[in-house]
Structure 1
């Protein structure tokens, strides 16, 4: 994909949308910070099974279950009843439907709106993307790039550094940032060196990530595996990769330095991979880590009155994967630490609606049945301080 002209197709619509996102000092409830958390591929049964294992049948809810508002969204893409992660995340990022495989970009040449991350940058906010997949995978890519195919991961890495300038990137994907073989878009190159030249601090382990945070870095590229990170259920003591909760708090510590606030997307990517594999122990480990990351975020918000007043937190899955179900036990009441009898209807995605949990400025608008594209408008209005 050519470097020049990639964003010319959205310039006109960007100006219009940015008017909606212009600061509105006269309104008290503007979302200074937006934290968007994605348990990729999670269905309601995943939530139930994890809660039972963690707290028992009659135990406390998971951390994200206690957010103030609950709604649900339709998930279909522009060309399919069953979405994949690319158009699902692009619908959130840009507020419109895309075809399966497209990353905030219409392959037929139609213009598209700027992403919520790009709008945040236009307001002077810092921006961050965190994932347990490659950071160039479909969900984070939709917020920080515009490409015709999710398979253009080298091009996505290039755009993160050269075009969008995402301030913080944490996840896997060393091979995508330092590539010798061109991707589907014809892109290859050493974008790690380019990032360093642009002032990014680069980290390859939890220890190095902790150091760049302590050093006060405001631009961070953390790449902790060639591909996706090690699954929770196969991790061994002493592994050098950070976990999702650790990446989440590192991101908050970096991004909060900006007095104008930030946009942060945090994805528990491998809930999806576990359900594709119909692997319940894998799913459970990723779900528990995701909920722990939500706790980290909520603790950070709760620690300061300004954060509580001015942070919009959204937790939503892009789609369900696997059609996971709880099939038993039929004759016993499970206690904390015990696992359900698991079943799946498929190894692929399903077309069911997914739940939305939210709190903070603008969140009341998410407490109903909506389309996935509607979340974009809610974030734009919240960021501008517009009232429902």
Structure 2
């Protein structure tokens, strides 16, 4: 089903009830058996904000490599490693043991298994759940998508659109603006929002102009983004590159593009104003691209930039007891890419020293990926789960506001 407009609370609760009983292919835990969030008195805790962060294509060896590079072999953990709960998820899609980002992200966003390439949409015509972003939007929450790929790329797309193919990026842009109304969109993809060439879905058009007509501040540089935030905008479309954004290891001093931590900070500054809270997805998109390229310098740069974005979020949460009490933070890769591994030498390395590392392929792998989480509701993720189960945890977070 599609949510083309805000729905009432009765309709929303009916949707939520239906979602909790929708069977998924070989899904993990029963959504109704997820532990309740608790505060210190043992009562239910309202979850006002959900922050979902994705280091795309990152395996556990990527984490080890970035930590050694930054802090040395015995050094401090990365920021996301300090979260309270650690679990792991199965990543297979409806039609393959090796998922792509579209199917993996759709499992999170809509709570079902999808075929590779599908964006929260079943080509066979089966109905599908509303996305967690749509449910948050229906509750009056602010919604945001931040990525270093095009903002219409597979992972952000699953939260704000329903299309037959991840190649329909013009259509995804159209749905963001015309249908879903995502409040904050920051990343690359100018060409997807203003294209005269139809995509695989037959869509083209000037969605930048349409966004401006709908009240979005439209910016193309870090300076423009900072100015819009300072001016108090509540709807922001930031498109900082024609395609994906410039990788960390290729950035030059004076670049006009913001970095992932800076985009994350801007999104929080805007969305924290919403009285009902927000749903924010942040993707370090190019960890995946680096692993596809088998490029260690690229990979470490993107992993550490993502970790800086996590620090921005943690600093924001820890600045207020209320934020800490009412914010669910989830950090999880959609899949592993490249079969990356760390090899010799047979001695400990100091921070900044080169390590012997390599990949077994340039494609995705089928291994489980780690989930780091904290905040109310996060205990449910401190175990082995299916990727569809993350939807159930987030749905419960929204549902608890009415129980």
Fold agreement, TM-score > 0.5: yes
Q: Aligned equivalents of 1:321 and 1:193: distance in 2?
A: 37
1:175 to 180, 188, 191: 191
> Which string of whole-angstrom CA distances, capped at 9 and with x for unpartnered residues, describes residues 218-242 of structure 1?
0000000000000000000000000
1:256 to 272, 279, 289: 272
Deviation by residue 1:153-185 (Cα, 9 ceiling, x = unmatched): 000000000000000000000000000100000
Structure 1 unaligned regions, length at least 5: none
SS at match of 2:308: helix
Distance 1:6 1:359 in 2: 30
Aligned equivalents of 2:164, 2:57: Cα separation in 1:
22
Answering whether residue 397 of structure 2 is matched by residue 382 of structure 1, we say yes
The equivalent of 2:351 in structure 1 is 336
Give 1:7 shift. Answer: 5.9
> What is the alpha-carbon distance in structure 2 between the residues aligned to residue 14 and residue 40 of structure 1?
30
Measured against aligned partners, the alpha-carbon deviations of 1:102-125 in whole angstroms (never above 9, x if no partner) come to 000001110000000000011110
**Partner secondary structure for residue 358 of structure 1:** strand
d(CA) in 2 for partners of 1:386, 1:354: 30
Aligned counterpart, 1:40: 56
Other-structure match for 1:95: 111
CA contact (8 A) 2:59 2:337 kept: yes
Give SS of 2:367's match. coil
C-alpha distance in 2 between matches for 1:103 and 1:13? 24
Q: What residue number does 1:348 align with?
A: 363
Deviation at 1:17, TM superposition (A): 2.8
Query: Within the alignment, does 1:297 sit opposite 2:295 as a pair?
Result: no
8 Å contact kept, 2:13–2:399: no
Structure 1 residues 13 and 76, CA gap change in structure 2 (3 angstroms): farther
Quote the Cα distance in structure 2 between the aligned partners of 1:27 and 1:192: 46
TM-score (norm 2): 0.91
After superposition, residues 94-243 of structure 1 pair within 5 angstroms as: 94-243=110-259
> 1:328-358: per-residue Cα shift (whole Å, max 9, x none)?
22x2210111232111010000000000000
Unmatched 5+ stretches in structure 2: 20-36
- Paired positions, count: 377
| Partner residue, 1:283 | 299
Q: Residue 71 of structure 1 corresponds to which residue in structure 2? A: 87
Instruction: Name the SS for the 2:179 alignment partner.
Output: helix
Moved over 4 A (4+): 5-8, 11-15
Matches of 1:319 and 1:358, distance apart in 2: 17
- Residues 12 and 138 of structure 2 are in contact (CA less than 8 Å); yes or no, is this contact kept in structure 1? no
Whether the 8 Å contact between 2:3 and 2:134 is mirrored in structure 1 is no
Q: How many angstroms apart in 1 are the aligned matches of 2:351 and 2:72?
A: 4
Give distance in 1, aligned partners of 2:237 and 2:263: 12
CA distance in 2, matches of 1:103, 1:365: 26
8 Å contact 1:93–1:143 — kept in the other structure? yes
| Rounded Cα–Cα distance in structure 2 between residues aligned with 1:7 and 1:48 | 41
Distance 2:316 2:15 in 1: 30
Once the two structures are TM-superposed, the CA of residue 20 in structure 1 deviates from its matched residue by 8.0
CA distance in 1, matches of 2:12, 2:274: 23
**Partner of 2:24 in structure 1?**
none
CA positional deviation for 1:27: 6.0
- Mark the CA change 1:360 to 1:20 in structure 2 (over 3 Å): closer, same or farther: farther
**Is the 1:87–1:98 contact (alpha carbons within 8 Å) kept by the matching residues of 2?**
yes
Q: Distance in 2 between matches of 1:304 and 1:337?
A: 35
CA distance in 2: counterparts of 1:128 and 1:386, whole angstroms:
20
Q: Is the 8 A contact 1:52 1:339 kept in 2?
A: no
Query: 2:388 is matched with which residue?
Result: 373
Q: Which residue of the partner structure matches residue 18 of structure 1?
A: 16
Q: Give the match's secondary structure for 1:241.
A: coil
The superposition leaves residues 176-206 of structure 1 with CA deviations (integer Å, 9 ceiling, x where unpaired) of: 0000100000000000000000000011000
